[in-house]
Amino acid sequence: MAIQLVQLARSLCLAVAAGMLALGAGGVGAQTAEQPSDSQTIYAAAQRWLDNSLAQQGSDLPLRMEVEVGQLDWRLKLAPCQQVEPYLPPNTRLWGKARLGLRCVQGAIKWNVFLPITVKAMGPAWVIKGQVAPGTALKAADAMAMEVDWADNHSAIVANQADWVGKTATRLLSTGQALRQDMVKASQVFQTGAQVRVVATGPGFEIAGRAQALSAGVVGQSAMVKMDNGQVITGTVSDARTVKVVL
């Protein structure tokens, strides 16, 4: 009888040990299934979405779009996710430095993170040669045509040479800088009190006369002039001595 009890006790111990091993193996398997989301999979999903979005983003400008994907915070431990959905946060566009949202839409634990990105828009522009002092009128020889990143700055590129030649530098311009709209302004071509020529045009006619400038003249902007008969009119400055009026 004593021998039978000992054998029964041994059998129970072996059964318990086997059960514990089975539980341990099950725990290891569950832990493997719950590993954090693969960062490479997340980056690949983001890259595909960005490439498709840029391809669909039509533009009349001669630009070659490129995108650089940054890195998530290495301290993030994202829960497993079967489907990651990229999206653009509100008031964000694919231009320059931005953030791409990534959210888990199919997983036990939902999460939402932001991935830094840099979108480049490579295209033709005019780049300064040498230095141009503030207040200096730019000449054609002051810049050369090159390809630059249009999205590198918030100010728009001045793409046409006619839009900057003759205009005044708003600040010191140095070698390698791409000309942008906030770097130049229209030059003043005459002062208040200057004698100017007024050309008035209408349906089927054009007349010209002399007048005195009542305001400074800047090409492309409005200026007030006083005609010889005392009449005050407003026209658009076309060059250093001419104001055009449409009747």
Q: What CATH number is given to the structural domain containing 210?
A: 2.30.30.760
Note whether 44 and 116 are same-domain residues: yes
Q: How far is CA 6 from the centre of its chain?
A: 80
Note whether 58 and 69 are same-domain residues: yes
Note whether 43 and 114 are same-domain residues: yes
Q: Which of 94, 121, 148 is the last residue of a domain?
A: 121
pLDDT at 55: 87
| Residue 239 counted as domain residue | yes
Range of the domain at 157: 122-185
CB 216 within 8 A of CB 190: yes
| Residue 11 counted as domain residue | no
Q: Which of 67, 93, 121 is the last residue of a domain?
A: 121
Note whether 63 and 105 are same-domain residues: yes
pLDDT tens profile 140-191: 999 999 999 999 999 999 999 999 998 999 999 999 999 999 999 988 889 9
Question: Which helix (H) or strand (E) covers residue 199, if one does?
Answer: strand 195-202
pLDDT at 219: 84
What's the pTM value of the predicted model, to 2 decimals? 0.67
Assigned token pair, 59: 């533009």
> Counting beta carbons within 10 angstroms of the beta carbon of residue 9, is it exposed (0 to 12), middle (13 to 18) or buried (19 or more)?
exposed
Low-confidence spans in the chain with pLDDT less than 50: 1-36
- Cβ neighbours of 11 (radius 10 Å): 10
Note whether 154 and 174 are same-domain residues: yes
Distance CA 196, CA 103 (A): 65
Q: How many folded domains does the chain comprise?
A: 3
CATH number where 152 lies: 3.90.1210.10
Distance CA 139, CA 19 (A): 88
| Residue 98 counted as domain residue | yes
| Residue 160 counted as domain residue | yes
pLDDT at 37: 64
pLDDT at 10: 45
